[in-house]
Structure 1
Amino acid sequence: MTASETFLTAFFALPLGTFTGTTDTRRYVVSRRVMAAGKSHKLVAHELGGPDYVSLNLYQTRNSGALLRPCEMSAYKVTDFVIALRPDL
């Protein structure tokens, strides 16, 4: 599986709506939304009790496939975060 496929699999496995989860030892409140009839996705995460923040948009296009657009942070940060994130049960 490619890094892109790993990211997409992890992203779409995350619950919709607002939930809490953990990456390494950090806890986050996370919101994942679907917009534009499933063509656009937004994820925002705030570290509980800490300063970290993660935000991204993911666009599903017919011609280019999935386009990741991190919001003022590196693609590495958001992909690493999504892959490592474990939602609370």
Structure 2
Amino acid sequence: MNEEPDQELDALIRAIPEGWTRVQIAGHVWGITRTTRAGGRVISFDAGRLGDKEQLGANIWMLSEGSVLKPCEVPEEDVMQVLRDAAATFALPD
């Protein structure tokens, strides 16, 4: 697990809206939830593929040097890929 602050992670998690959102990733519909806690110092990210059992989650610690990812029982790269895909959908014009 990477303990170094991650600038890419910081940008990705800030692109995800607070609360629950339905998003299309690679032809599948996902429900993603971003919850900010501890005065903005911790962000929980949960994602589940709707109609399927695939789920993942992580906590992101917001440090002064940048964000640190703490995945919950899933590989860090899996969380990062879902974050990249989800953040890209929010960057698309309506």
Match of 2:9 in 1: 7
Distance in structure 1 (CA, Å) of the matches to 2:34 and 2:54: 17
1:6/1:83 contact within 8 Å kept: no
Match of 2:44 in 1: 42
Distance in structure 1 (CA, Å) of the matches to 2:17 and 2:10: 13
Report % sequence identity: 19
Task: With the length of structure 2 as denominator, give the TM-score of the two structures.
Answer: 0.79
Which ranges in structure 1 are unaligned for 5 or more consecutive residues?
Answer: none
Match of 1:73 in 2: 74
Which ranges in structure 2 are unaligned for 5 or more consecutive residues?
Answer: 1-5
**Paired residue type of 1:24:** A
Match of 1:55 in 2: 57
Task: With the length of structure 1 as denominator, give the TM-score of the two structures.
Answer: 0.83
Match of 1:30 in 2: 32
**Paired residue type of 1:13:** A
Distance in structure 2 (CA, Å) of the matches to 1:15 and 1:23: 16
Number of aligned pairs? 84
